[in-house]
Structure formats: structure tokens, C-alpha cells
Amino acid sequence: MNSLVLDFQEIDKNQLLLVGGKGLNLGELSKIPDIKVPEGFCITTAGFQRAIEQNDSYHALLDQLNRLDVKDRDQISEISRKIREIILEAAIPSDVVNAVSTYLSKFGEEFAYAVRSSATAEDLPHASFAGQQDTYLNIIGKENILQHISKCWASLFTDRAVIYRMQNEFDHNQVYLSVVIQKMVFPQASGILFTADPITSNRKVLSIDASFGLGEALVSGLVSADCYKLQGNEIVDKRIATKKLAIYGRKEGGTEAQQIDSKKQMAQTLSEQQILQLAQIGRQIEAYFRFPQDIEWCLVEDTFYIVQSRPITTLYPIPEVDDKEDHVYLSVGHQQMMTDPIKPLGLSFWMLTSRAPMRKAGGRLFVDISQNLASPDRRKMFIEAIGKSDPLLKDALLKVVGQEDFIESSSSMNQAPTPTRTDQAQSSSSFKALIENDPTIVSDLIKQNETSIEKLKQTIQMKSGSDLMDFILEDLQKLRELLFDPRSSAVFMSAMNATEWINEKIYEWLDEKTVGDIITQSVPNNITSEMGLALMDVADVIRPYPEVVDYLQHIEDDNFLDELIKFEGGQETKDAIDEYLRKYGMRCTGEIDLTRTRWSEKPTTLIPMILSNIKNFEPHASRRKFEQGLEKALKKEQELVERLMELPNGKQKAVEIKEVISLIRNFIGYREYPKYGMISRYFVYKLALLKEAEQLVKMNVISEVEDIFYLTFEELHEVVRTKKLDYKIINKRKDEYKLFNKLTPPRVITSDGEIIVGEYKRENLPPEAIVGLAVSSGVIEGRARVILNMEDANLKEGDILVTSFTDPSWTPLFVAIKGLVTEVGGLMTHGAVIAREYGLPAVVGVENATKLIKDGQRIRVHGTEGYIEIL
């Protein structure tokens, strides 16, 4: 076997580094029975390396390129151009030329060939790199072919290829190019076959794009294509495009675009029989590779040729289960306002905490709700309950159960339903508090949690090794008891039901919408809204000391607190920040992931928000803000009572409303506390585990303490016990986490991999309205600030925050804004609760809000009706 050139038949599946992704896949395709692949061979990466290995200028330029960042576009372009010139001028090694000549003689030098790039970082399961390097079609003659081999090598350094590698964190030094020389076929039709629907991700739907001539026209976007969709052996959808152009091979070599006869432009490219035949070929290829495939095909006379197959890298992974039944999964991240991927240790802790049947997919968690949809009665209650907080979920679930092939699982019918908070919800028309209206219940629950955490902090210090792991596992049971304490659930569910009840009744009696949004302002015991106001108090401490303010504007090191005492007011500042961190330092963006960096670990995160408060507010603004909200709420209560008294049976209505308002104000603030208690406990666990990780580093079991984040709790337990670890698992998980960061998790996904998207059903809206869910009433205009990372926030008072999602860590920003728009969220998720408490008009669940709304645009937020206008 020649290491410089390999026939497709000579390639084995372990030779990615020799023949690249495209070459490897063609080698595998050639081995599938009855699959026709135009014959050919690969000039391996060894040939490319041989051509440039002694070129000092090439390596010097490559070193320069490796030092650049993706934003250095001009320098990237200039250095890449010089590298391409060097490669094109370099002589192809004589042994490579001889090997190519031998193989061309074998296949027939008189034939036309496709000369195609095949990089080692290409057509991989986690990165397609499709179209990053060049392909040349209908190349005739050995000298022409050799010339185009050099062009393919040079295309490894096109601007787009270099930038793509940078974005995907591939080292330029570690990426090489093989060149595929494949006998040309001249098809009457060609196209792409997806064995899973690339739009819906449904693995049961196969999608075919087809157009006349060579596939180059379709891939390059030059022409529209017919689209056929199949389910099983049935064509379920056909869209015939107007095909004005096609690319064909020229007799003298190369290709040209030709106009298609007007009578043929609307003709169906493939017959029904050909569509079914091609679908069968696609399923055979998918079965061989055991993963959904993106397949390039050509039709020559009545024969289909396959010229490429690669994994579809954009499909969202399906949660794994052991059975063959149908399942429906609901995103946990959309309910918890954290749709980023979670590292394995964080996923483990969430699964050990929850009582719901959790499944992992794409670094996120999903709840299996199949049992809740099993029977018609249970299904109706569940969908109605969940729809109250998130209409998009309701619409998606109605689509699922409305599908013709939706099957009620026989095994699910006999099991208990998935425990969710919505199971406890009562209809507002029959509202009755689930617990006595006694404010001391809340203070007792909070005290119980605080005492438990203090005891945990003391006890865990004495634990290490396997004892620590066993202790954490045991304490997680205590956490579950606190989280799912019936009294705790009854408190916030009573308040939530009461708020819904009062909204419906006041609308019925007084024709006023969302009155609960005002009633719930400035309530006691809301740990999250208090956190935002408390940071304003920290700003009050610092404001009188200009030296400290100036110092804080320039800090970068997280040890800045120790330096503060050098300045007048420094000790007071340090004490104020330390006290804030003592109470809230366990919080951070994405806090449900135990592995995320907390404010206590990186206090510089808080500094921009503190400086913003100093700039935007007068002293004691927090107290005034709270008092203004309280005054609004009490005034609204008095107004409602007076208006109700004028109605028939008004005295009874007024008494009833006062009782319900009392219950709401006593209990609704507690809605945010259970999560605070859980996150507080998580931080105690994390600090103890990091100390254990330091010991593992000292023993050379792991390289750095944060490596433990890429292990599940069970795996970490075993590593702590045995002091042994196969480090490949850490590297594999780190690569997976990078991939998961690029995926967008769905709200609802089925076990077929179908992503179900819900839609808002709304009428009488302005034609350009951007629709979402109304969660906090009022109408406000202002400048949109599109912020994806809280640390990048530079808000001015009166701005409207537009972001993907908010969790409690974003609350300190809420004091400076006057409106909120998020892509994720529901009626009772964090952003909605705090927006109502602060009196901010808010619309959440707005699909693609951060793309539809541009930073700096003036917008109007309709918090009562649930839509946004761009002004």
C-alpha cells in the first residue's frame, strides 16, 4: 500500500489523518453493497506535508497566523494570501507525481475527474467544515489535475477556512489536506439527501433536494431545488421549484451555467419511483454509518451515484432511553431560565435533586412527560396547567398529541404522572388557599433552611475522600426534603393561584387586566428582589469616596478587595462588598449549574453593576424604590375596594379581594426562596469538592481542579475512592461541551428527534409586532440594550433590557432598566416575577428577540398585551 496515494478500496476507517473526512467517507461508501460510488483515489496528507515540510517561510507565516484572533480579519487575509502563494509555487514532490500518474493510468487518464479537497478537520460528527476548501469539476489531463491538486492544498488557507478553524478552535498546525481524485459522472439531475429532516430534526422524515445538472449549482445557492419529504415509503410533501439554470460539464473541461428550457423549468426533477429508490439508498447508507446522513447524489440515466456522505451535525441529540416506546420531552432549561449547556457534574447534581424523570441530551436536561400525556383526562389537565405559564409549550404539546401517529403508551398508562409544580395548580375559578394565611409560616420555612445550611457548613468541613462523597449524597436527601416540603409548595402555589384568581375576577368585575402585577410590587421576603436593592445600598457606601470609585473603574484582578484598604473609604467598601457576598455570593449567571463561577469566586463581576448604581442613582434610592412600589400596591388595593363597593354584592367582593390580596402579599415573595436555598447548598458542596480536587491534582490524578466538572458525581466518587482516572474521558467531555455550546435546545422534542415549535395565537396586533408572552403589565418606550452576557452590561437608567434569558443573577440590573424582553421565560419564571415586583413592563418567550431587535433601537414594550414594536 502506498502511503502517498490510496484507492478508495484501500482506505480503512482509521485513516482520517491520512485521507481527511471526505476521503474517509468515500472509502467507507465504496464498501457498502449495491451503493454506486464513482471510482477514485486520494493523495494523502503525507503528500501535502512532504510539499511544505522544508519551507521555512510557510512555517513562519503559520506561526504568525496562530497568534491572531478571529477579529484580526485584515491580518488573517494578508497572511493567508501569502501562505496560498507559497503552496501554489511549491513543486509537488516527484514521488507524489509518480504515484498520481500510476493511479491515473489505472483508472484511465483520458477521463475527466473531480479534484476535491478533503481536510482532516472536515465531515466530522461534531463539525462539518462543509464548503471550507475548494472542489474543481471536470478536470481533464494529468498536468491539469496536478495543477488543481496544488489549488486544493492552497484552499486550506482561504480566509473562510482559516476563520472557521479559529471559531471552532482547531489548530492550523494540526489540520492537513488530502485531495480526492474521483472519476466524473455527468448527471441529468443531482442534489442532496438528508436522512433526517434538517428543519424539524425529525429522524422519521427524509428530505431530498433535487435539481437538473451538476450539484454545484444547488450547493452554491445558484439555483432553487425541488424538495421532497418522505415518511416511511410515502411521499408526504412535494415542492416543485422553478429551475432556470443548471451547471453542466464542458467538453474541453470545466463547467458552465446554462439556461433551462422554459418548458422544463417547472418540471419535477425526479419521478415518484426515483424518489422512493433514492430514499431507500439513503436509509441503507444511514444504517451503515449508524447516524443521520447528509448525502450528495447524482442521477446518470437510471442509476444513482453517491459522491459524498457526511453526518448531519446540526441535529439536536435525542434523550436516551432503554425502551422502544414513544416519548415526549420538555426542556428543563426553558423552565429554569438557563438554556446554556451544563457540565456533567452540574447535570448530576440537578438529577440527584429533582424528583422528575430526567434525561440528558446535548448537555441539557429534559423531563419525560409521556406519562402526563398518556390518558386524555390527565393530558388535558397537564397541558392546560403548563399553558398558563408558557403558551408556547401548550401549543407545542397540542401539536404533539394532535399528530396522527401519537400513541398512548400502554406502560405509561399504569405509572404515576411526572411530578411538576403545575400538577398542584387549581383553576382560578375555584381558588382556595392550600394553606392558612399566616405570614409566620414563611419566616419559619426560611429559618429552617438557614439553620440547616449553617449546620451543613460546619459538618462538611470535617469530611474528605469517600466520606465527603457519601456525606454529600446523604445531604442531598435533606435538600430534597426542604425543596419538596408540602408546606413550602403550598405557600407559593397558594400565592400563584391567588394571583391568577384576582386577575380573572378583577377583569370580570371591573374590566381591568393584570391587576396582580401591581399588587405584587414590593412584597416582603423576596430574596431575589432584595438582592438587587442591596447592591444599590453597597453603591451608597462607596459613593462618598472618589478614590475608591476611580480604583474600581480600573480593576481586573479578583483580589482587588485586599487592595481597597489603601484608600480612604476602602475598609468600608470592603466590608460592604464582603457582607453582600456573604448573603448573595453563591449566585451567578446560569446558577443551576453547580460548576459555574460564583460571585464569591469572581467578585469583579459585581463591579460594573455597582458603578452603574453610583452613576444612575441618588443616595438611598433602594429604600425609595421599595417604598414607591409598596405605595402603588396599597393604593391599588384601596382603589379596588372602593370600586367593588359600588357593585352589586360589592361588600362581599371587597372583603374577598382584601383577603386574597393579604395572602398574595404574605406569600408571593417566598416564590424565589426555595431556589436560593438550593443554590446556597450547591455552593457549599462545590467548595468542598474543589478542596478534594486540589488533593487529586497533587496526586497527579487530574491536571487541574476544574477537571472534576467533566465527571458525573458517580464517576467522581469512584475517582476519589480509587485515585485513578482515564484522562481521555475528560478530554472527550470538554470537546462535547464545546459542541453543545453551539446547539440551540428545543422546548419540546420527541423520541423521534422531532422538535415541536409552539406559536402564539394572537389577533388584532400591529402588522410588524414582535409577539411574546405578557408577564408584567404596562407600556414603555426606550432604547433597547441587547445584552447576551451580564458582565458586558453598560446600562443607563431608562434602557430596556433585551436578552436570551435572565436568572436571579441578573436582578441587580433590573433596578436600572424600565422594561424587559427575553427569548425564554414564562409567567412565573424569575424575570417575570422580579419585573412585576419592580413594576417593569415585560414580554418574555420572544423567539429570536436578540436577533430581531438591534442594540440601540428605540422600541415600545406592551407588557399588558405581550408584544414589542420597533419605533
Q: How far apart are CA 594 and CA 730, in angstroms?
A: 17
Q: How far is CA 635 from CA 134, 499, 506, 621, in A?
A: 70, 17, 15, 21
Cell of 509: 368585575
Helix (H) / strand (E) element for 248: namely strand 245-249
Q: How far apart are CA 747 and CA 763, in angstroms?
A: 24
Q: How far is CA 189 from CA 104, 140, 258, 279, in A?
A: 27, 22, 14, 15
The 3-state secondary structure of 154-189 reads HHHHCHHHHHHHHHCCCCHHHCCEEEEEEECCCCCE
Q: Is the dihedral of CA 618, 619, 625, 627 positive or negative?
A: negative
Q: How far apart are CA 335 and CA 421, in angstroms?
A: 11
User: 739 in helix, strand or coil?
Assistant: helix
The 3-state secondary structure of 8-23 reads HHHCCCCCHHHHHHHH
Quote the Cα angle for 788-792-793, to 5°. Answer: 90
* Cβ neighbours of 599 (radius 10 Å): 21
Cell of 530: 432584595
Which one-letter DSSP state was computed for residue 670? Answer: G
Cell of 406: 401519537
Which one-letter DSSP state was computed for residue 656? Answer: H
Checking DSSP bridges between strand 40-43 and strand 5-7, what pairing results, if any?
A: antiparallel
Helix (H) / strand (E) element for 353: namely helix 344-353
b/e map of 568-594 (b: 16 or more CB within 10 Å)?
Answer: ebbebbbebbeebbeebbbbbbbbbbb
172, 334, 717, 830: the catalytic one is: 830
830 is catalytic: yes
Cell of 287: 444504517
Checking DSSP bridges between strand 177-183 and strand 748-750, what pairing results, if any?
A: unpaired
b/e map of 75-105 (b: 16 or more CB within 10 Å)?
Answer: ebeebbebbbebbeebebbeebbebbeebbe
Cell of 411: 406502560
Placement of cell 436570551 in the chain: 804
Which one-letter DSSP state was computed for residue 565? Answer: G
* Cβ neighbours of 295 (radius 10 Å): 24
Q: How far apart are CA 238 and CA 227, in angstroms?
A: 6
b/e map of 18-29 (b: 16 or more CB within 10 Å)?
Answer: bbbbbbbbbbbb
Q: How far apart are CA 760 and CA 865, in angstroms?
A: 12
List residues with catalytic annotation.
830
